[in-house]
Structure formats: structure tokens, C-alpha cells
Amino acid sequence: MKCLQRPNLPQLIRVLGVLAALGATVACSEDAVQPEGSGAQDAGTADGIVGSDVDVADDSTFSELSQSADALTNTLDGDEPDLAIDVEIDLGPSLDESLQAALREAIDENFNDVEAPGVVIAVTRPGFSPWLEARGLSSRAPSIDMAVGSQVRIGSITKTFIASAVMRLVERGDLDLDESPGWLLDEFDLDSRITVRQLLSHESGVFNYTDDRTFIGPAQQAAEPSEVIEFATEHGAVFEPGAGHSYSNTNYYLLGLLLEDAYDEPLEELLENEFYGPLGLTHSLLETGEVEVPGLSKGYTVGVETTYLFDPSWAWAAGGMISTTTDLCSWANALFSGEVVSEQSRAHSPR
């Protein structure tokens, strides 16, 4: 995990480039083609830039978000009003003025270069109120300014919530990381040796459904999680369980089904009851397509709006959440303070 303990200008420049590339899943929009790669992803950061995967700015961040259905929902009729959420958070003193100035300078110097219609950035440090800043547009048509309270799709940050729910089961003694969920593997004719740990850490060998770009066709229609998994398993295994590492969104669909079975409730209700409600994440939700989200920031790829191109069921447990930077600040602080899972569980969580 890359955590910006002491933000400086070079680090911030890198962060801003990542923010711009993440598009609708983080700051609502992007015009640049995202590079591809592979690698592991970690959870958020307790002391750094929050509101995106910027604390884990590795190649997998770009690969995952460029290939997964990040900008998903049903088409909304008519113009969208400016419904950015008012944000007032007082958790302590503000960041030092010199640091704030350096942050603004980095944003101003790099925002135009990365060609993102809009970004929203938060910096959080223990004992300080979050520093929030927005630039550009949340929507080009109609023209709506990006705001620090804008709701955005957070893509694979969703996985930190899923992994935390799994680790809570482990803490309660209801699940063993090194056991194989036989019923689930049998349902999809997967290798019976695959463990929960391997699903979490992308060592299962299960094919990543977004690596088959033909998913763009069926993804325009709603699908059950089982249908997405079946689409992936048509390709067979990438390698034997534990024999390698390959980032796979399909792993987190499997974990989503595992969680629904263990908690005996739909995933969106599980996340509300376990995390959103207790932590006060009032502007976070798992997008289902059944409920419209007015004012949701729009996403763009090479200048083309893609916000409503795919159905959100093709992101689900792998990347289907909507949130705000302030909610993500609260989430990161809770995650790294031991409020979500114990410090011991977090230390032993798959990475």
C-alpha cells in the first residue's frame, strides 16, 4: 500500500494524474484513454489523499477501472439539477495553510494537463478536518460544476467494503480464509481447491470477466451475479489456484454471493447495515439501477459520455458503489483506526 504520509508536490502531481484517469468512479469524469496493466490493489489510506484509489496508484488501478463497468446506471430523463450535497465536517483544526497552498498549486498546475472535465479531491489526516477541493464540471450537458459534495462512482474502492465484510465473518469465527466455499465453487464448476483468501487476493485463477471485451454487449442489459460469473467461467481458469496472481473482478462477484449467503440478506442491505449506517456514510450506496441517483457525476471516455452505457449490475460487488469524498474520508479513517475490523484482522488481511 502506498500511503502519502507527507504529501509533497511530486506526489501530488502523480495523485492528480491518477485522479484524472479514474474517471466517473472517482471524480466523475475523464477524457484520456486509461493505460492498462496488472497488479494488486489495497484498501484506502488513513493519512493521505482519499476519495479515490489514489493511495494505491499502481497499474492494476488503471487496468481495473479502464475495463470494469464503472459508469453504470439506467438513463435518466431530462436535464439533471445541481444536487451536490452540502458538506460541513469539523473533526479538528484545518490543515496548515502552506500545505493547502501546495495542494491548490498542484491541482492548478496539472488539472488542464490531464484533460479531465472534473475532479474532486480530499486530503485527510488524523486529528484534522478533511481538506476538500473540486475543479471543473460534474456534467458537461447540462453544464454543472463539480462540487466537494458531488456523488461519484467509486469503482474498485467498493472492494474494500466487500473485503471488510468478509473479514468480519472471519473475526466472528463464521469463516476461515483458507477454506474452500464448496457449494459456491460447485455451482459454477470452479476448481474445488480455491480458497476465500485466494479470491480476496486475486490468486484464484478465475478469469476476469472484463478481460473479455465482448462483455460490453451483454452489459447493456441487467444481469444476475450468477450470469456475470457464468460469462467469466466460459473462458476456463487462468492458472491453478495459488499458482499466480491475476486481477479478477469475478473473484468479488463470488465473494458477493458468499456474503449474501452468510449474512442472509441482499448485498446492498448488508453494506447499509454493517457500514453505511453505523459509520454515518449517509451518501454511500450500492447502485442497483432500480433507484435513480439525481445529480450523479457523469463519466467520459475520450470525450464521449459513458455514464449510462452499461447496467450497474455489471459492476456490483466488484465496483458498483456510489459515494462522496467525505464519506470516503470517514471510511478510510474508520478502516485504519480499527473501527471496521480489528487491527489484527487488517494486518492479516489478504493484500
Mean pLDDT in residue range 72-78:
28
Is residue 69 pLDDT above 80, yes or no? no
Is the torsion defined by CA of 69, 70, 76, 79 positive or negative? negative
Q: What is the pLDDT of residue 94?
A: 85
Mean pLDDT in residue range 329-337:
93
Q: What is the pLDDT of residue 349?
A: 63
* Spatial separation of the C-alpha atoms in residues 346 and 167, rounded to whole Å: 8
Comparing CA positions, the residue from 226, 251, 253 lying closest to residue 238 is: 251
Q: How far apart are the first and last CA of the chain?
A: 8
Is residue 235 pLDDT above 60, yes or no? yes
| Grid coordinates of 229 | 460469473
Q: Give the ranges where the chain is alpha helix by DSSP (H).
A: 9-22, 59-67, 97-110, 158-171, 182-187, 196-200, 225-233, 249-263, 267-271, 277-279, 316-319, 325-337, 343-347
> Count of CB atoms within 10 A of residue 343's CB?
10
